[in-house]
Structure formats: C-alpha cells, structure tokens
Amino acid sequence: MTETTDALPTEALEVLRRTFGYDAFRGEQGDIIDTVIGGGDALVLMPTGGGKSLCYQIPSLVRSGVGVVISPLIALMQDQVDALTALGVRAGFLNSTQDFEQRREVEQAFLSGELDLLYLAPERLRVEATTRLLDQGKIALFAIDEAHCVSQWGHDFRPDYLMLSELHERWPDVPRIALTATATEATHQEIATRLNLTDAKHFVASFDRPNIHYRIVPKDNPQRQLLDLLRTEHPGDAGIVYCLSRNSVEKTAAFLTQNGIEAVPYHAGLDSRVRSRNQSRFLREDGLVVVATIAFGMGIDKPDVRFVAHLDLPKSVEGYYQETGRAGRDGLPSTAWLAYGLQDVVQQRKMIDTSEGDLAHRRRLSAHLDAMLALCETVSCRRSQLLAYFGQHGDACGNCDTCNTPPESWDGTIPAQKLLSTIYRLQHERNQKFGAGQVIDILLGKETEKVRQFRHEQLSVFGIGTELKDTEWRGVIRQLLAQRFLTVEGDYGTLVLTDDSAEVLGRRREVMMRREPERTKSKSRSSSG
Ligand code: ADP
Ligand code: ZN
C-alpha cells in the first residue's frame, strides 16, 4: 500500500480491529461506513443481526464530533451505552427516564467534546432545549435507527419520526444514515422521501435468513403443539414464544414450566424488576424460554436463540419477519414456528374494527392482516413469499414446511360455493349472520339445539356439505378469508360476504385451496381452529 492512498478506509478498519475486535467488515458494511465517513447520506436495509450498529458507530468514531443516534428503543439505551463503554467508547443517552441531574451530566459531556456517541429518543428533538444543545456542540453524523417508524404505511409508525425530516434543514452539512431491518419496497421509498434523503446512497442487503426454517401450522391445541415441538426438536434450547395477550403469556409460561421446560413470562404488565431479571436471565443462561408479548426482543442481541414460536397470528408480515429474525443470529439452524387458526382472524378483525384512528388507518391494518393470511395459506415456498413481500426474489428454498412437505392444492370451487351460498341464504332469506361453527353445522347437517332453535334444518343448504369434515371446512373458511372471498366482523366473528364473493357464487372464479399435509396429531382435543 502506498502512503498517498486515501486514509479513510484504513482508519475505519483500524477502529473495527482495535475497538471492536473484528477482523473484517461484513457484507456492505465497509462501503456504508466509507460513504458516511466521506460526508454522504446512506439508507441501509439490512436484516436483524446483519451488523447495522457498526455502520454508524465506526463513522462516529472516525469523524470529528459526536455521532447522534436517534432510536425509539428507550429501554435499551442503557444497555447499548454500557456495552460501548466496556469497549472504551464514550457514549451517553438522553431520554425521558432520566432525572434533571443525569441529563445535565450527559449534556455537559456532549458540550465539552467528551462523547463519541449520543443516543436520543426521537421525542427529545421536540424540545427546543435539545436542538439548542445540539447547535452548541459538534455533530459527526445523525443515525436514524428503526427508520421504518417514519412510514405511515408500515407496521410501526411513530409520529415523532416525522420531525426527523427537519434534521437536514437545520444541520445541512451533517451526514445522515437511516437504518432498518424491515421495509417493503413501498416503505423503503417512503423512508427516503419523508427523511429527505434525496441524495442518499441506498444499501439493500438480502433479507434472506437461510438458517431459519419456517413452518406454519393450523392451530389445534396450541400449548400442546408447542410442547411437542420443543420436546422433539428443541430440547434444552433457548427460544422465544410470542403470545398476543398478557394472560396467555402467563398461562403458557406456567404450562411449559409444569411440563419440565424452564420458561419465564415477559410483558408490560409485570413489575419492571421482574421484567429486567427475566430478560437478563434469558441473555445469560443457556436454554431458557421466554414467553412474551411482542414488546420483548427489540434490539436484544442473543446469538443462540434456536426457535421463535408464535401462538397467535402476528398482525403483519413485517412484524412476523422482525420477530422471527431474532432466531439464529449466530447462523446455526433455527426454527420459526407459527400456529394460527380461524379464531385469530376473528380476533384481529375485531381489533381492527374497534381500533382508534380513521378509515385509512383501519384499511392499512386490514391490508397487513391480509398479507399475513396469504403467507399462512400459501402453497408455495414460505421464504420466497416472505422475500417477495419485501420486493426480493428467491427460488424455492428447501428449508420451509411447504418446500419439505408440499401441500397439495385442490380445486375448492364447489365447497367454496356451498359455503358462500349458505352464508348468502342466512343473510338474505333469514336476515341472519352467524360465525363459523353454526355455518359448518348447517353444511354438515347437524341437528344441534341451536340449529333447531333457528330452524336451520329447513334451509335448502342444510346437510349439503358432508363430503368434508369439520376441520376441513375450517380450512376452507380460512382460505376464503385469506383470498378475500369472505370476511368476518363483530364480537362473535360472524361471516360476511365481500364484493368478490359474487365471482365465486356466480361460477366465474375457480378457488384453489391448500390441503394441509398429514402431520402427527397430538392426542388432545381441539380447542380452536
Ligand atoms: P443489527 O443491528 O443489524 O441487528 P448488530 O449491529 O447488533 O446487528 O450486529 C449483530 C452481531 O454481529 C453483533 O454481535 C455484532 O457485534 C456482530 N458483528 C457486526 N459486524 C461484525 C463484523 N464485521 N465482524 C464480526 N461480527 C460482527
Ligand atoms: Zn421454502
């Protein structure tokens, strides 16, 4: 190497080795870091575990001044700062958890040039005192972490992020780097627009996580199904189990513990000391299972999480990808397992219908749910479908359930017509709406008390669907929901026709369906489906 070559990459590499103890950059890290050190803006899409942090930490150390990192993950700032301090990097943070004295200390350190990195919660920038403070110091760069939070179409919008467009106006000479681990093509573009990253270089890594095995199964008895999975495939492994409600978090953790699997709960309703104890046990101990609401895991860097299990349907593909991405950061084989059933769809539709926010917001939530359902009911490779959702392409992967045990697809047009016309008749002849259970009983011709009460045995469709079993009809309903030929509404999950139903009823559309491959059944009775 000659002495006149640009010193920048060398200096970055020096810092990588000396401060962080790594030999070489990974993927596009080197290029990203060069761009920012050179004063350019960057937009980085990289999956969880890809190594985003170094992309702003190293430029912060190489450029003069303080790297200001904007992050919504307030709970993690202390950990991040501690980890950096241990490496000899001078770091501090400002957020709402601090008292006046703690804040003043950090501000002093910032002003006197004693910091390399300053972590800021986005809402801090709303405070005039903060922007004045930043004006008085020297800023090396702005890093905008979790940049997808600026997107109103994304799954994790945070209004405070919208203000970040002003960074460039106020500090036009400071380079900015925006980073995210989840963004569809539309969100990607929206980040660039909303943050005014007009001249930024875009770095888009592959979102594929080849070591993660994806599997989605119909929900039967979810706790029992989970236990089977852990016993047969992950004995003694560390993992995360996600549930939607605090109540089911508690129950599932207790159930696993009773069955000899060490598990602890984690949700926002727990005492903060219990929460942080459970979190640090998870980080430190081998083979602990954390049962959590989605609040758990953001930014947690545990390399050997061997499985992520969902007992409830995630609200969006982005969320699913982000949560499953916490498995297997060390690159070793790991499992992403999800159990879902009709009841999930009913519950989520209800949450959408009753959610605050305008019609556009509810439409957004609906579109997210539809995409998630489509992933669940796909007959092709899960990974390809997942990547396609993020605008990337891949061949059938050989490491997901649909690749390993291809589900048959079958022509479900006739059952679909039978089901939809039952709903049509209830609605138009009787002015009634019912949930899946009653509609299936009618199709099967079951003379239950409720059937007699409503004289449903007199309907012409009574008993016309005996060629399928109860569980198969549930599968038909799930798939009609996923294909939007049907929807659910209200507290009881009543089935309602959509604008597209007419196409099936009028025989203008074929409906292809997925037949669940035979799996070993658990002994217990089904509870939901
Ligand atoms: P992300 O924020 O993208 O999820 P992190 O920045 O937390 O990922 O990095 C994930 C892990 O990879 C961390 O343990 C980090 O120390 C490690 N890592 C990052 N870059 C490198 C590198 N160039 N060489 C070795 N390990 C790296
Ligand atoms: Zn596959």
Coil/strand/helix, residue 240:
strand
For a mutational test of ligand 1's pocket, the pick from 16, 17, 20, i.e. the residue with the most ligand atoms closer than 8 A to its C-beta, is 20
pLDDT surpasses 70 at 65: yes
pLDDT of res. 298: 67
pLDDT surpasses 70 at 499: yes
Question: 123 Cβ partners below 8 Å, 6+ apart?
Answer: 96, 160
Give the distance (Å) from ligand 1 centre to CA of residue 58: 12
pLDDT surpasses 50 at 61: yes
Whether the predicted interface score ipTM is above 0.95: yes
Query: Is the beta carbon of 80 within 6 A of some atom in ligand 1?
Result: no
pLDDT tens for 428-453 read 999 999 999 999 999 999 999 999 99
CA-based radius of gyration for the chain: 26
- What pTM does this model have? 0.85
pLDDT of res. 516: 76
Q: Which residue has the higher pLDDT, 32 or 395?
A: 32
- The residue-averaged pLDDT of 497-516 equals 89
Hey, whose CA ends up nearest to atom 5 of ligand 1? 51
AA letter at 111? L
pLDDT surpasses 60 at 525: no
* Contact (Cβ atoms closer than 8 angstroms) between residue 511 and residue 486: no
What is the distance between the alpha carbons of residues 507 and 52, in angstroms, rounded to a whole number?
A: 51
Using alpha carbons, list the distances in angstroms from residue 338 to 216, 229, 323, 344, 442. Answer: 5, 11, 11, 12, 30
For a mutational test of ligand 1's pocket, the pick from 46, 52, 54, 145, i.e. the residue with the most ligand atoms closer than 8 A to its C-beta, is 54
Q: Of 136, 134, 157, nearest to 146 (Cα)? A: 157
Query: Is the beta carbon of 207 within 6 A of some atom in ligand 1?
Result: no
Query: Is the beta carbon of 52 within 6 A of some atom in ligand 1?
Result: yes
Please report which ligand is nearest the Cα atom of 47. Answer: 1
Q: Which residue has the higher pLDDT, 158 or 8?
A: 158
pLDDT surpasses 80 at 519: no
> What atom in ligand 1 is closest to the CA of residue 47?
3
Query: Is the beta carbon of 22 within 6 A of some atom in ligand 1?
Result: yes
Query: Is the beta carbon of 316 within 6 A of some atom in ligand 1?
Result: no
Helix or strand run (H / E) with residue 142: strand 139-144
For a mutational test of ligand 1's pocket, the pick from 19, 22, 48, i.e. the residue with the most ligand atoms closer than 8 A to its C-beta, is 22
pLDDT tens for 89-114 read 999 999 888 999 999 999 999 999 99
pLDDT of res. 524: 37
For a mutational test of ligand 1's pocket, the pick from 53, 326, 330, i.e. the residue with the most ligand atoms closer than 8 A to its C-beta, is 53
Lowest mean pLDDT among 298-302, 453-457, 461-465, 485-489: 298-302
Give the distance (Å) from ligand 1 centre to CA of residue 386: 23
Classify strands 263-266 and 289-292 as parallel, antiparallel or unpaired.
parallel
Q: Which two tokens stand for residue 513?
A: 């369906």
Query: Is the beta carbon of 48 within 6 A of some atom in ligand 1?
Result: yes
> What atom in ligand 1 is closest to the CA of residue 301?
7
pLDDT tens for 339-360 read 999 899 989 988 898 888 888 8
Please report which ligand is nearest the Cα atom of 16. Answer: 1
Q: How confident is the model at residue 277 (pLDDT cuts 50, 70, 90)?
A: very high
